[in-house]
Amino acid sequence: MIDYKELRTVKQLAAEAPFVTESKLRWWIFHAETNGMASALIKIGGRVYIDRAEFNKWLEGQRMAPKSQNQAA
């Protein structure tokens, strides 16, 4: 279920998350079908809203796994 209080526009999310720019968010949205971010997006009448909770799940999924000791130099 979607909590409308968690929805953000690109501009709002970029203002809350200083590590990401509006243009980077738009790039991720443009490629959402291939990068897995589509589950965090809601499109209504030409506007795109980002579900913050789903975005955080997607972002966590992008974490790079630490190298195991066997892979180290």
Domain ranges of the chain: 4-61
- Higher pLDDT, residue 55 or 1: 55
73 pLDDT band, cuts 50/70/90, is: low
Tokens (6 digits) for 41: 């997006």
> Which residues contact residue 43 at a Cβ distance below 8 angstroms, ignoring those fewer than 6 apart?
49
| Helix ranges (DSSP H) in 1-73 | 10-16, 22-30, 32-35, 52-61
Residues 43-60: pLDDT tens digits?
A: 999 999 999 999 999 999
| Secondary structure (3-state) at 72 | coil
What's the CATH architecture for 4-61? Alpha-Beta Complex (3.90)
What percentage of residues in the chain have a pLDDT greater than 90? Answer: 77
